[in-house]
Amino acid sequence: MANPVPVIDDISLESLYADPYPSFQRLQRDAPVAFVRAAGINLVTRFDDIVQIERDFETFASSNPVSLMNRVMGHSLMRKDGEDHRLERKAIEPSFRPGVVRNHWAPRFRVIADDLIDQFDDHGATDLFGSFAAPMASLSLMEMLGLRDVSWQELAIWSQSLMDAVGNYGQDPEVIRRGQVASDGIDAAIEVVLPKLEASPDPSIISSMLQAEDKHSIAQIRANVKVIIGGGLNEPRDTILTTAYGLLSNPDQRACVMEDANLWSAAFEEAVRWISPIGMYPRRVTRDVVLGGMQLREGDQLGICVGAANRDESHFDRPDLFDILRPKQSHLGFGAGPHYCAGTWVARQMVGAIALPALFGRLKDLRLDEAAEVKLGGWVFRGPLSLPVRWSI
């Protein structure tokens, strides 16, 4: 017999932001599906339950009229299922094909990485968040989208504002306002580049949407660009920082990577598992169903906590440890099923094959700055907020 979903009153949004993993471990052990009152949503935390959800979009739908993402960004492909999702995903795929990434985008990513390091390599110290990870992700995404006359700082602010608004389960009015400002700014930036990309198509994402066989409306283009600016900037930024933090905190593993370049990909994947940059996303229950022994009802709202699933002790040995040498196994850092992240190949190239090898290869004796604090935050989206480092000149 299925159990009713328990209501949890003693988990706060503040505790989840500061460090969600103790709460996740408790939920996995005692209440794998639980209504956390502070978040106003049923959180799902076990690996196997999330895989079940992602394999059954008819029961656990991405489409959701009350989704925060819909309110902030518009009705994007992330909140569509079936044929509607397939057609919009197909429209952006030309820009993400492995050959296009390898031959067109990767050379640009290398130039961006080297130019950024050139700006601080003689300083001996920096915070990698602002000097490298954020501009690397932002400048690379601007190239891929086809945006012009936008600074990397402006795009980064837009991205963070959108992600804060999408994760605004506390309904903070200032967060709502910043999200709207970002949305309006992105709409204006899209309008600037549309005429040129319509007249002269290129490999950019906006161009791919304009040339799609299934003609996109301006509302579709706007919504999908906003989704890409959100996850497509924060995710590689945070993965650069998380991987660097993991390696700098574990000198033996850093030595292994420096001796064997093939291990960069393992370091990247382990970072995405260890601190999943997109830690939670929503789903909607379309019919009464039992999940993890808990009775769900039609209309229930779910928060899919992949940040918890990627530390599920039933799937990963010593999951709280960063370990690039752990046996290779699948994780949920890029989601699963039809909504598996379209930018996975791009992130693996930009972060694991280009940005991190350049950073560690050029900065001699790179190490954490013991005089400064590494800060992390978030649970819907999580990553380092600062990563102060030093190196020998």
- On whether the CB atoms of residues 191 and 210 are closer than 8 A, the answer is no
Q: Which two tokens stand for residue 21?
A: 């993993």
Neighbours of 101 (CB within 10 A): 22
Average pLDDT over residues 371-392: 96
> For the whole model, what pTM was predicted?
0.92
Q: How far is CA 356 from CA 174, 301, 362, in A?
A: 35, 38, 10
Strands 7-8 and 3-4: unpaired
Report how far residue 146's alpha carbon sits from residue 141's, in angstroms, rounded to the nearest whole number.
8
3-state SS assignment for residue 27: helix
Tell me what pLDDT residue 169 has.
Answer: 76
Residue 320 has pLDDT above 80, yes or no: yes
Work out how many domains the chain is built from and give that number: 1
C-alpha 351 chain-centroid distance? 13
CA 96 to chain centre: 16
Phi and psi torsions of 341, nearest 5°: -55, 120
Q: Which of 232 and 389 is assigned the larger pLDDT?
A: 389
What domain range includes position 129? 3-390
pLDDT for 311 equals: 98
> What's the CATH code of the domain at 34?
1.10.630.10
pLDDT in the model for residue 341: 77
Q: Check residue 387 and report its DSSP letter.
A: -
> pLDDT tens for residues 136-169?
999 999 999 999 889 999 999 999 898 888 877 7
Q: Please, which pLDDT band fits residue 35 given cuts at 50, 70 and 90?
A: very high
DSSP letter at 215 equals P
% of the chain residues with pLDDT over 90: 78
Q: Residue 375: its pLDDT value, please?
A: 97
Give residues with Cβ within 8 angstroms of 345, minimum separation 6: 96, 98, 101
Among candidate residues 351, 88, 330, 162, the one with its CA nearest the CA of residue 238: 351
* Apex 170 CA angle, 155 and 302, nearest 5: 90
DSSP letter at 79 equals G
Give me 292's structure tokens. 């993890």
pLDDT, mean of residues 281-300: 94
% of the chain surpassing 70 pLDDT: 99
Q: Quick one: which of 383, 133, 135 has its CA closest to 272?
A: 383
Distance CA 347, CA 352 (A): 7
Query: What's the pLDDT tens digit per position in 55-109?
Result: 998 999 988 776 777 777 877 777 778 888 888 889 899 999 999 999 999 999 9
Residue 373: exposure state from Cβ atoms within 10 A (0-12, 13-18, ≥19): exposed
Across the chain, mean pLDDT equals 93
Of residues 40 and 214, more confidence is placed in 40
- Calpha distance 293→32 (Å, rounded): 9
Q: Tell me the torsion sign for CA atoms 59, 88, 159, 355.
A: positive
Does residue 41 surpass a pLDDT of 90?
yes
Q: Are residues 308 and 271 in contact, defined by beta-carbon separation less than 8 angstroms? A: no
**How many beta carbons lie within 10 A of that of residue 131, not counting itself?**
18
